[in-house]
Structure 1
């Protein structure tokens, strides 16, 4: 197949909030964009800004070698591209999905003669096209595809290639988001404890930020311990001591009439690690409890 499309052209399928933000950023950078959306009315504003609007996924895909997917879910990809000729196309999937879906979709694309890269967007729509906002996208899959189109992919947000396993972009994405929600859970519990007390949330806020920043060392130290499998060297606050202290956290929650549901799973995980073998695990760092999560 001969590719006669301009090097700065691309196709975008999906014009939700994120897709629209991506399209506008590429347009502003001078790229020729062909867009398609199941609800055609969403493309009208972009047409006025210079986008070419396709009437079908097949027409949109035919317009460019680089085809970016930003649809609702993985099933939407299969539905939109059913029967569409993908021979010689470079598919970049920015649809939120799981690692398994990324791997399966990569195999699906290869069977149809296309190269494939999966992506995980670490940004909100308002961060797209705003470099100082710090947003970026994880990419994994075909390194050749990524290298070919890297300049275009870096226009909306930073581009970080995390390996040729197509599932690794989604895995990185979900790992970071999971940590984020765990952080949000702890912050929510802290605010619930002071609710109704003579402590203003705005006064607790800087203390929370300062304390959580100080605890950031746990990210790196845990990585080192999981790599070495040494959970005992240089321990400052042992598992036995921390488990003993959890009673205070739970009694305080009860006194404040606050459900412990946001913190109790982690406290219980530490307790399980300790009670399995107090002599072996009592002097460990809490990172050892992570080993109990694998099924």
Structure 2
């Protein structure tokens, strides 16, 4: 009996120490087992903001020994977004040499329905390596940039992506027509460019036109009517509003829910100020 009571406290002490060790181990950092590009949603809707992050398998090595930079790409976009980079500064710089820049997270909105791929690349000594790939399916549950014509909301919203140098402005508003029609719901979509003053150059305006046209092709297919048709007469036939005198129509789409026109805004019928998409409920 005497030996039993001497042994019991030792047993209890050993048990408590083991539990404390296990708790500490559970709180330790879990190493990254593979390179990962992480997205908040792989099945977003048009214009939905998707958050991105990355994890890199370093095996305990400093990141700058593995890669000089990491970049993010989206299919259909030529640019790559640098999410990690080593900036080799002047050795006399008080911030050190080299310095490292890293985006903890960034955002992207898809402007049209369809399938897309995003990629995370690693660069080392000018050698490019694909680290991870994500596939996306983008849908449009309502219509025309997710506008719900049955529950129309008056708002003007701009969408920009970290990887792009341009953004879209969606302006849902009411306009007055004839005394019989009164006011109607319409949506205008324009394309703007970051860090470039307006008015834009002809080259940038043509890029805007290509972007808007491509979005419509991806969402609705080829236009119902093109410049081979009398677009002014067709606009007067299908649309409730009157075509402004300073606009020239290039394409018209008649879809299940929308009437959409891609038009060019000009001054004195010579200088192009830009392109826009104009939509009414069908």
TM-score by length of 2: 0.26
Structure with bigger gyration radius:
2
Q: Name the structure with the higher strand share.
A: 2
Q: Name the structure with the higher helix share.
A: 1
TM-score by length of 1: 0.25
